[in-house]
Amino acid sequence: MPRRPPLRRALLAAAGLLAAGACTSSPAPRPAATGPVAVPVPSASAPLVVSACKNLLGSLPQQLDKGVERRPVTGDPARTAAWGDPAITLQCGVALPDQTATPLVVDDLAFVTTQRAGRVTYTTQGRAVNVSLVVPTPYENQALLVLPLVKPIEKALPLPAPAPGA
């Protein structure tokens, strides 16, 4: 059996843990919704946030996985995005996540995860501008849905400025 690269193994292990905790089946087949998704717009409005979010949203993929296509949003399309049905939503410029939680690392990008009310929220950690991705629990292998977003996030969202004297 070929040996998988360490990153891929770690990602698959994380995906397995999240899938086991979230759900064991895919959503029932039904016609995919194509209409706009209501996504609340974060309130942060600093120029760095607005600029970074605009860059990020312009570089996001049209598809997160087979059949999980990008959809229009009723929120600010320069700060929010959505894919699939049930909708996976992204908000750019969210509050800093809990810094005491152990992050889930996907391809070298850290996310704080929280699970409640039938969804898992992945919020970036260690960026000057943070993004949250809300994934409904019916999706299996959730960390694999996050993977296509890692590179665009790393390119568009800056690292925090070093502390003075550091």
Mean pLDDT to the nearest integer, 79-85: 97
pLDDT of residue 120: 95
The structural domains of the chain, ordered by start, are 44-156 (3.40.1000)
Q: What's the rounded Cα separation, in Å, for the pair 151 and 132?
A: 15
- The residue with greater pLDDT, 23 or 157, is 157
What is the 3-state secondary structure of the chain?
Answer: CCCCCHHHHHHHHHHHHHHHHHCCCCCCCCCCCCCCECCCCCCCCCHHHHHHHHHHHHHCCCEEECCEEEECECCCCCCEEEECCCCEEEEEEECCCCCCCCCEEECCEEEEEEEECCEEEEEEECCCCEEEEEEECCCCCHHHHHHHHHHHHHHHCCCCCCCCCC
Q: Whole-number mean pLDDT of the chain?
A: 83
Say what percent of the chain tops pLDDT 70: 79
- The residue with greater pLDDT, 31 or 163, is 163
Distances (CA, A) of 131 to 51, 92, 120, 166: 14, 4, 14, 26
pLDDT category at 165 given cuts 50, 70, 90 is: low
For the segment 122-157, what is each residue's pLDDT rounded down to a tens digit? 999 989 999 999 999 999 889 899 999 999 999 999
> Does residue 89 contact residue 79 with C-beta atoms inside 8 Å?
no
pLDDT of residue 32: 66
Q: Does the pTM of the predicted model rise above 0.85? A: no
pLDDT of residue 166: 57
Mean pLDDT to the nearest integer, 67-82: 95
Please say if the pLDDT value at position 68 is more than 70: yes
Mean pLDDT to the nearest integer, 4-10: 42
For the segment 49-65, what is each residue's pLDDT rounded down to a tens digit? 999 999 999 999 999 99
Phi, psi of 134 (to 5 degrees): -105, 120
Please give the span between the terminal C-alpha atoms of the chain, in angstroms, as a whole number: 46
* Axis-axis angle for helices 6-22, 142-156 (nearest 10): 120
